[in-house]
Amino acid sequence: MMIKELVTKYDKNNQFDVLINSYKQIEFVWNNKIDINSLKEKTFKSLFFSGLGGSAISADLIYNFLRADLKLPLYVNRNYTLPDFVSDDFLIIISSYSGNTEETVSVLKDAVAKKCNIVCITTGGKVEQIAEENGLPIIKVQPGFQPRYALGLSLFSLLKLLQELNIIPNHNKIVNRTIDLWKSKGEEYSKEDNQALKYAEKILGHIPIIYSAADITSAIGYRLKGQLNENSKNHAFCNVIPEMNHNEIIGWETHLQNKFPSIVINIMDPIYHPQVNKRFEIISSLIKDKGVEVLELEGKHEDFKFRFLELVYLCDWISYYLAILKNMDPSEIDYIHYLKNELSK
């Protein structure tokens, strides 16, 4: 059966078109007028981002993406409360696509009580309600997507916020070129026998173990893991080099491929430290000796930022196609819905 026939059969909510048109999310954000004047005259010591899941990953990605531009510390919080070290010279960025993520709503209430500087990114829900009641700036994004399929909205809203506050240099040219990049890649990955599909075919039937480089591509590895979990309904694990060389490497000594069929995915980039590259080579050799296939994902553009965003987009397509190849609906998240219902009782 051709892949388009499988897409029609199993993708009941047409996430295929959502992926193809992801570039339009970036267009929306960059044309979206935001009112953050109340924050523009202030100087911040640190950035504190609070969110979960598809909203939180945007901050992880921004941390890697702006590695050469961001001069302020960025903390990413995935919990119910603000830590005690947060002070009034922090900028608290609250991000919840639905506006009802209970952990994020809890942090927002905590931040309001402590009279913090706050800005909210959301489609509505309780976050919008609390923000309006307290006169907080809100960056409204397009509704109608599942949060993990709205990365263009969350990631580029955060990027635009930092640019508007003059925390980072102007990224207008980079953003416009990224729109073209994602548009062309969407056309490429939506065709039969494309590279994203080929990677998914290799992963099928295996547990992916993803390795990336700390502080450079670590967020891509974590994004891919999460997308394989939610879209593909597949266990996946990730770690970073050099850290995994100090612990996880030993687990490979007793790996039995016939009992735990695995495939390793290395997220690569030319700017890695030479010793990091050497570590990838050594660990990959050890893993291959255990009969495990090692895939390497690497962007093709000259500029790091475009390679980075190219890989993010490719990984989303890989996870989508793996779901289709498993005859699964890439939208379904039944266990998450069950958990939320149980928590609400």
Listed in sequence order, the DSSP H helices in the chain are 3-10, 15-20, 22-31, 37-40, 53-65, 102-113, 125-133, 151-164, 172-189, 195-203, 218-230, 274-289, 304-325, 334-343
For residue 90, give every residue at least 6 positions away whose Cβ sits within 8 Å of its Cβ, in sequence order, or none: 44, 45, 46, 47, 48, 116, 117
Q: From the candidates 230, 233, 310, 326, give the one annotated as an active-site residue.
A: 230
What are the tokens at 130? 């609390």
3-class SS at 226?
helix
Q: Is 246 a catalytic residue?
A: yes
Contact indicator for 223, 57 with CB cutoff of 8 Å? yes
Contact indicator for 235, 226 with CB cutoff of 8 Å? no
Residue with tokens 């931040």: 111
Q: From the candidates 246, 259, 300, 345, give the one annotated as an active-site residue.
A: 246
> Can you tell me the distance from the alpha carbon of 326 to that of 308, in angstroms, rounded to the nearest whole number?
28
What are the tokens at 286? 């050890």
> Can you tell me the distance from the alpha carbon of 256 to that of 262, in angstroms, rounded to the nearest whole number?
9
Q: Is 230 a catalytic residue?
A: yes
Q: From the candidates 45, 191, 198, 340, give the one annotated as an active-site residue.
A: 340
Q: Sort strands 74-77 and 46-50 into parallel, antiparallel or unpaired.
A: parallel
Q: Is 12 a catalytic residue?
A: no
What are the tokens at 245? 């060389």
Active-site residues, by number, are 230, 246, 340
